[in-house]
C-alpha cells in the first residue's frame, strides 16, 4: 500500500532531492517547510505531481497530521544561515525535533533524523568513526548548531529507550549539488558562483583545512537504504575522499575555465581543521558506497549555477 511520508525541510537543498526520490519510489510525500532557507524553485517540478503536497509550517510549533514515516531535515545548515539567529537554530534542533519525536511516538511511526558531522566538532581523531564522541566548543559561534544537533541525537535515543520509538540517526558529511542556494555561503556554492562571475575566490584561512564532499544523489540513496535497514544509528554518510579547500578552489577554477584569482580571508572561529567520514559502519550495515567523484559531482553542479546566473541577468 502507498505510504504517506512527511519530509520536514523538504524545500531545502537535500530535502527537495529526498522528496523526489520518495515520490519516484511510489510514496505520497508531504513536504513541510517554513521557507527560511528553502525555496519553491527547488520543488517546482514536483508541485504538479498528484502525490505531492506542501505545508508551510515552522517545526518549532507542534503539528498534528497523519503519516506513516517522518524524515526530519528542517534546520538551516550553512554556517552563515545557522549563525544568523543562533537561538532560533537551537530551538529548531531541540524543540523542533521534540515535536517531530512526539508526533512519531503518537503515530507509532519511524523517525529519520538528519544529524551532522559537526557533532564531532574540530575532531582529534581522523577519520571520524561513529564511536568518536567529538571535540565541540560548547560556547562558540558554531555551538548553536553543533550542540543543538547533539541534543537532538540524545532526544532521538531517549525516545528509542523510553518509548521503543523506531529511529534512524544519520550524521551527514558535507554534501553538495544542484538546489543549493546561490547565497548559501557554503564553500562549493560560494566558489562556483565566484568562479562563474569572475569574482575572487574567497579562501578562509590558509586553505589547508580539509573536507570530504558528497554528491547529493549518493547521500539520498544512502538515506533510503538506511531507512529500510533495522539499524538505528548513528550512521555516518558522505564521501570519504578528502581535499584541502585550496585543492577544491583550484579544481573549480579549472572546471569552469575561470580567470578568478584566489583571495585570502580570515578563518572563522572554531572552523574544523580536518574532516573525513569513516564509512566502515555504513558499508557493513547498509552496503553503502559513494559513487560520484568530486570532479564528476562538480561537473553536474556547475551547469545548475550557470543557469541560475543566466536567469538572474
Ligand atoms: P537547507 O538550508 O538547504 O535546508 C533546510 C530546510 O529546512 C530549508 O528548506 C529551510 O527553509 C527549512 N527550515 C529551516 N528551519 C525550519 C523550521 N523551523 N521549520 C520548517 N522548516 C525549516 O540545508 P540542507 O543542506 O538541505 O540541510 C538539510 C538537513 O541536513 C539539515 O538538518 C542539516 O543540518 C543537515 N545537514 C546537511 C549537510 C550538508 O552538507 N548539506 C551536512 C550535515 C547536515
Ligand atoms: N570556506 C572558504 N571559503 C568560503 C566558504 C567556506 O574557504 O567562501 C571554508 C570554510 O572556512 C571551511 C570549509 O570551507 O573550512 C567548508 O565550509 P562550509 O561552510 O561549506 O562547511 P563547514 O565548515 O560547515 O564544513
CB neighbour list of residue 221: distance below 8 Å, 6 or more residues apart:
21, 288
- Asked, for residue 303, whether it belongs to a domain, the answer is no
The pLDDT of 157-184, averaged and rounded, is 97
| CA distances to 55, 76, 295 from 34, in Å | 8, 11, 33
pLDDT in tens, 34-46: 999 999 999 999 9
Compute the C-alpha angle 218/222/226, nearest 5°: 175
Crossing angle of helices 187-197 and 294-312, rounded to 10°:
60
Ligand 2 centroid distance, CA of 62 (Å): 33
CA distance 239 to 283: 12
CA 165 to centroid of ligand 1, rounded, Å: 23
What lies within 8 Å, CB to CB, of 207 at 6+ separation is 244, 245, 246, 249, 262, 264
Candidate list 71, 82, 145, 288, residue with the active-site label: 145
CA distance 45 to 38: 15
Ligand 1, pocket residues at CB < 6 Å: 8-9, 11-15, 33-38, 58-60, 73-77, 92, 96, 114, 116, 172, 174-175
Domain membership of residue 41 (yes or no) is yes
pLDDT, one tens digit per residue, over 257-300 is 999 999 999 999 999 999 999 999 999 999 999 999 999 999 99
The confidence band for 104, taking pLDDT boundaries of 50, 70 and 90, is very high
Q: Which residue has its alpha carbon closest to ligand 1 atom 28?
A: 73
Query: 143-163 and 97-107 are packed helices; what angle lies between their axes, rounded to 10 degrees?
Result: 20
pLDDT more than 70, % of the chain: 100
CA distance 74 to 96: 8
> What does the mean pLDDT of the chain come to?
97
Q: Is residue 79 part of a domain?
A: yes
Say whether pTM exceeds 0.95. yes
The number of distinct structural domains making up the chain is 1
Q: How far is CA 138 from CA 84, 124, 153, 171, in A?
A: 18, 16, 16, 19
* Domain membership of residue 69 as a residue range: 4-178+214-240+277-292
As a whole number, mean pLDDT of residues 116-134 equals 98
Residue 149 within a domain: yes
The model's pLDDT over 115-124, given as tens digits with 9 standing for 90+, comes to: 999 999 999 9
Distance between CA atoms of 29 and 57, rounded to whole angstroms? 15
57-97, pLDDT tens digit by residue?
Answer: 999 999 999 999 999 999 999 999 999 999 999 999 999 99
Residue 258 domain flag: no
The finding on whether 117 has its CB within 6 A of some atom of ligand 2 is no
Q: CA-CA distances (angstroms) from residue 136 to 4, 118, 139, 150, 223?
A: 37, 8, 9, 10, 26
**Over 80: is that where the pLDDT of 313 sits?**
no
Decide whether any atom of ligand 2 lies within 6 Å of the 249 Cβ.
no
Q: What is the CATH number of the domain that holds 21?
A: 3.40.50.720
Q: What is the mean pLDDT of residues 7-20?
A: 98
The verdict on residue 218 lying in a domain is yes
C-alpha distance across the termini of the chain, in Å: 47
Query: Does the annotation mark 145 as catalytic?
Result: yes
CA dihedral (23, 44, 74, 13) in degrees, to 10, reads: 90
Cβ-in-10-Å burial (0-12, 13-18, 19+) of 73 comes to buried
Check if the beta carbon of residue 158 is closer than 8 Å to that of residue 166.
no
Ligand nearest to the CA of 94: 1
Task: Evaluate whether residue 259 is within a structural domain.
Answer: no
pLDDT, residue 312, reads: 84
Q: Return the closest-CA partner of residue 216 out of 39, 14, 41.
A: 14
Q: How far apart, in whole angstroms, are the C-alpha atoms of residue 128 and residue 27?
A: 34
Percentage above 90 pLDDT, the chain? 99
Give domain status of residue 265, yes or no: no
Amino acid at each position: 500500500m502507498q505510504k504517506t511520508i512527511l519530509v520536514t525541510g523538504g524545500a531545502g537543498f537535500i530535502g527537495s532531492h529526498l522528496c523526489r526520490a520518495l515520490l519516484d519510489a511510489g510514496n505520497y510525500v508531504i513536504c513541510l517547510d517554513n521557507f527560511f532557507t528553502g525555496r519553491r524553485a527547488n520543488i517546482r517540478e514536483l508541485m504538479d505531481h498528484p502525490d505531492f503536497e506542501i505545508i508551510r509550517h515552522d517545526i518549532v510549533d507542534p503539528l498534528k497530521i497523519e503519516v506513516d514515516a517522518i524524515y526530519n531535515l528542517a534546520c538551516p545548515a550553512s554556517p552563515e544561515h545557522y549563525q544568523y539567529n543562533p537561538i532560533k537554530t537551537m530551538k529548531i534542533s531541540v524543540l523542533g525535533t521534540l515535536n517531530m519525536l512526539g508526533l512519531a511516538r503518537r503515530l507509532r511511526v519511524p523517525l529519520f533524523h538528519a544529524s551532522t558531522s559537526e557533532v564531532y566538532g574540530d575532531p582529534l581523531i581522523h577519520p571520524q568513526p561513529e564511536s568518536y564522541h567529538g571535540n565541540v566548543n560548547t560556547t562558540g559561534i558554531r555551538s548553536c548548531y553543533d550542540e543543538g544537533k547533539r541534543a537532538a541525537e540524545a532526544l532521538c535515543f531517549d525516545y528509542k529507550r523510553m518509548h521503543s520509538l523506531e529511529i534512524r540517526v544519520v550524521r551527514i558529511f558535507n554534501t553538495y549539488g544542484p538546489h543549493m542556494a546561490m547565497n548559501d555561503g557554503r564553500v562549493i556554492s560560494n566558489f562556483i558562483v565566484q568562479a562563474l562571475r569572475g569574482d575572487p575566490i574567497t579562501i578562509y584561512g590558509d586553505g589547508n583545512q580539509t573536507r570530504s564532499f558528497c554528491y547529493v544523489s549518493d547521500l539520498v540513496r544512502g538515506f533510503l537504504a538506511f531507512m529500510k535497514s533495522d539499524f538505528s544509528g548513528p550512521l555516518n554518510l558522505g564521501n570519504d575522499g578528502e581535499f584541502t579547500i585550496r585543492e577544491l578552489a583550484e579544481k573549480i577554477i579549472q572546471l569552469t575555465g575561470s580567470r578568478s584569482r584566489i583571495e585570502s580571508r580570515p578563518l572563522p572561529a572554531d572552523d574544523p581543521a580536518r574532516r573525513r567520514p569513516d564509512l566502515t559502519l555504513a558499508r557493513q550495515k547498509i552496503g553503502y558506497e559513494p559513487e560520484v567523484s568530486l570532479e564528476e559531482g562538480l561537473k553536474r553542479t556547475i551547469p545548475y549555477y550557470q543557469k541560475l546566473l543566466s536567469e538572474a541577468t
